[in-house]
Structures are given as C-alpha cells and as structure tokens.
Amino acid sequence: MPLVIQFEITSYWVYLSETLKFPHPNGLGDIFFSHVIHGSGQGPTRLSIFFQPPDVPVQPNGWDAGRNVGYLVRPISEYPHYLDLLRNEKPVQTRIWTTPDHHIEVFVTQEPVGEGEIAGLHP
C-alpha cells in the first residue's frame, strides 16, 4: 500500500566528485551524478539527492523500501538551492510518496514572517 513518509532533516552530508554512477533502486538503469546530498532525521528513513551533470537527462525519483531511502534526482543547476536551504533554514522537512512516481518534496515550515528571502533563490 502506498505511503506518504514525512520527516525533518536534522543532519546532512555532501559528496562532490567527478561524474559517478549509482544503480537506480527501481531498476531504471544508472543514475549519473557529480554531487549528492544525503539527509537524515530521527528515524530510519533517509533522503539522497543526486545532482546530474548538464549533459545527462534527469532520471526519475526512486524509493528503496528495504533501506528506507528516497532518491530525489535533480539537475546540477539546482544544487546551490538545496544546499542553501539545508545550511540556512530550520526546520527542513521532506515528504516521500511511495507511489510508482515517487514524488519527493523538500520544504521549510513554520518560517517566521519577515525573515527575508533565502539567498540564491532569486536573481
């Protein structure tokens, strides 16, 4: 039965390298990436955000039920936005749908009014 899993990302780590490949958890070939952010919270569920180089088509998101890991796949152009969100905002939440399309959101809640814009999101 499909679930919507939500948790607060309380810690993260970043990995930068030359382009590497990772097997897609849903058997859709390989995810080619040059940057990845791994986020975790208080429970066993984690989120890995893979950033694909500009010359690689973006793969679909994935969900590995055995490891409790959601895989969000985005173009490298969005990397600074996700990193900025994790560095500067709190609390950062994620929602993972375990449906076939594996929709995944990363967002901020309970943001005080008037705090200002997040640097880097607007020109």
Q: Quick check: is 114 in a domain?
A: no
4/104 Cα distance (integer angstroms): 9
Q: Quick check: is 118 in a domain?
A: no
Residue 65, domain extent? 4-108
Pairing relationship of beta strands 46-52 and 69-75 according to DSSP bridges: parallel
Q: Quick check: is 122 in a domain?
A: no
Residues of the chain with pLDDT > 70, as a percent, come to: 91
pLDDT tens digits, residue range 24-80? 888 888 899 999 999 999 888 999 999 999 988 899 999 998 999 999 999 999 999
User: How many domains would you assign to the chain?
Assistant: 1
- Average pLDDT along the chain: 88
The pLDDT score that the predictor gives to residue 123 is 40
Question: Cβ contacts of residue 27 below 8 Å, gap of 6+?
Answer: none
pTM: 0.85
